[in-house]
Amino acid sequence: MSDDCVFCAIVAGDIPGRTVYEDDGTLAFLDANPLAPGHTLVIPKEHHQHLQDLDDDLAADLYATLQRVVPAVEDSVGADASNVAFNNGPAAGQEVPHVHGHVIPRFEGDGGAP
Ligand code: 5GP
Ligand code: ZN
């Protein structure tokens, strides 16, 4: 847990998050500023900044949660597909320094990747 991390605060229940899925090691919740309906963030509950900081078990848990959440999110908003992406480090646009995968639902004819 990092004291000044907004996603750790969501994990701790100190600020609200709209939970999509949760298990012992991971959490998925709706993005506060969605790029598309259903835009969801998938995180490990432990605080780590970079993907490469996760140990193998936690990385596997995170991937399993993505595999579960992606089709559930697509179904929930009637999407045809989704972009799944990690901004891994500030120079790549990572603003929240806690590993998170974006699941962004996509719709036929919506104009391409954001
Ligand atoms: P990044 O640019 O770090 O890859 O993406 C951070 C994402 O976190 C952004 O899409 C932003 O809208 C989202 N975000 C930032 N603060 C909060 C928050 O307090 N709650 C939720 N649900 N999402 C947040
Ligand atoms: Zn954190």
pLDDT of residue 77: 98
pLDDT of residue 113: 64
pLDDT digits (tens, 9 = 90+) for 12-48: 999 999 999 999 999 999 999 999 999 999 999 999 9
pLDDT digits (tens, 9 = 90+) for 81-113: 999 999 999 999 999 999 999 999 999 999 876
pTM: 0.96
Going from the Cα of 29 to the center of ligand 2, the distance in angstroms, rounded, reads: 14
Query: At the topology level of CATH, where does 6-106 sit?
Result: HIT family, subunit A (3.30.428)
pLDDT of residue 96: 98
Please report which ligand is nearest the Cα atom of 42.
1
Query: Shortest CA distance to 41 belongs to which of 6, 69, 3?
Result: 69
pLDDT score of 56 more than 70 = yes
Q: Report residues near ion ligand 2: CB below 5 Å.
A: 2, 5, 7-8, 47, 98
Please report which ligand is nearest the Cα atom of 87.
1
**What gap in Å lies between CA 54 and CA 62, rounded to an integer?**
9
pLDDT of residue 48: 98
Tally the residues of the chain. Answer: 114
- Catalytic annotation on 100? yes
Q: Would you list the domain boundaries of the chain?
A: 6-106
pLDDT digits (tens, 9 = 90+) for 59-78: 999 999 999 999 999 999 99
